[in-house]
């Protein structure tokens, strides 16, 4: 992922935060997020449709803290799913012992297009972890 793209994501997250403070609701996804305002305005021909296209714009990975410190801080603060499952069975996402958002996800070498239209993103097993609340989380 190039620096400009990282900067675009940082800008989007920062804008999202500014907007969130105005309406009193936390919004942390960039507006280009699938289903987001920008995404909905895109012409069909520009929509991401293949695993290669998703990989160009979406990255389910903890950023490099040295190369992209600002992005790293924003992702750790806003984009990580709270510890759940075995690490926190009482998180609000837990229903009947399972995370309703399917976290933690499996590590996965390649992005694939699922039948229902949602991609399964590549999740690297890179041994990187970050502390979120009382747990160490990785790219899952
Ligand atoms: Zn969860």
As a whole number of angstroms, the distance between CA 63 and CA 67 comes to 8
Q: Give 90 Cα–ligand 1 centroid separation in angstroms.
A: 10
Tell me phi and psi for residue 5, to 5 degrees: -65, -45
Residue 95 main-chain phi, psi, to 5 deg: -130, 120
CA of 7 to the centre of ligand 1 (A): 28
Alpha-helical regions (H) of the chain:
3-23, 37-41, 51-57, 69-74
Cβ 63 vs Cβ 110: under 8 Å: no
Q: Ligand 1 being an ion, which residues bring their Cβ within 5 A of it?
A: 84, 93, 99, 103
What is the full per-residue pLDDT of the chain (140 aa) written as tens digits?
455 555 655 555 555 544 434 445 555 666 666 666 666 665 677 788 889 989 998 889 999 999 999 999 999 999 999 999 999 999 999 999 999 999 999 999 999 987 777 889 999 999 999 999 989 999 99
pTM score:
0.63
């Amino acid at each position: 992922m190039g620096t400009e793209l990282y900067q675009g994501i940082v800008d989007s997250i920062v804008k999202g935060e500014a907007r969130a403070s105005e309406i009193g609701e936390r919004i942390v996804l960039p507006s280009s997020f699938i289903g987001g305002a920008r995404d909905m305005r895109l012409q069909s021909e520009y929509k991401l449709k293949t695993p290669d296209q998703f990989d160009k714009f979406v990255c389910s990975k903890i950023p490099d803290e040295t190369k992209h410190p600002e992005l790293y801080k924003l992702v750790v603060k806003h984009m990580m799913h709270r510890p759940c499952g075995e690490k926190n069975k009482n998180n609000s996402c837990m229903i009947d012992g399972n995370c309703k958002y399917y976290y933690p996800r499996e590590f996965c070498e390649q992005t694939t297009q699922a039948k229902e239209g949602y991609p399964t993103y590549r999740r690297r097993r890179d041994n990187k972890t970050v502390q979120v609340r009382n747990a160490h989380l990785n790219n899952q």
